[in-house]
């Protein structure tokens, strides 16, 4: 038996943003316009509920580009199912524009 996870509109918006590909925290803030104090805790909750997963960028890549490694977030299958359910609940989510630039790990 699967348990339906209820998300707030903000969390659903973040999940929708992540659904377009791998993305990092600051990118979500830029695209959604949400403050960091909202985005990061929501990311943690989504990750705890296994709707997204995170992984650190390889240190070697970051070192090559002389910048710190980033933490990327990616949708899980459970996240996709939940997002579909949330789309019905929050129809305005679909109006969120497609992502311009998505980095991949």
Contact set with other proteins (CB under 8 A): 5-8, 11, 24-26, 29, 35-42, 44-46, 48-49, 56, 67-71
Nearer to other proteins, 56 or 63 (CB): 56
Distance in Å, CB of 44 to other proteins, minimum: 7
Distance in Å, CB of 92 to other proteins, minimum: 19
Nearer to other proteins, 46 or 93 (CB): 46
> Is residue 29 within 8 Å of 35, Cβ to Cβ?
yes
CA-wise closest residue to 82 among 1, 12, 31: 12
Buried b / exposed e across 9-43, counting CB within 10 Å, b at 16+?
Answer: eebbbbbbbbbbbbbbbebbbebbebeeebbeebb
Nearer to other proteins, 44 or 80 (CB): 44
The tokens describing 16, both together, are 């929708």
Distance in Å, CB of 21 to other proteins, minimum: 17
């Amino acid at each position: 038996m699967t348990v339906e996870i209820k998300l707030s509109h903000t969390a659903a918006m973040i999940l929708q943003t992540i659904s377009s590909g791998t993305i990092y925290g600051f990118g979500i803030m830029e695209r959604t316009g949400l403050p960091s104090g909202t985005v990061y805790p929501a990311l943690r909750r989504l990750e705890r509920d296994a709707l997204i997963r995170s992984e650190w960028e390889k240190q070697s890549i970051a070192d090559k580009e002389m910048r710190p490694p980033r933490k990327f977030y990616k949708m899980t299958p459970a996240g996709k199912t939940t997002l579909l359910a949330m789309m019905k609940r929050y129809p305005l989510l679909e109006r969120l524009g497609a992502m311009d630039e998505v980095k991949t790990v």
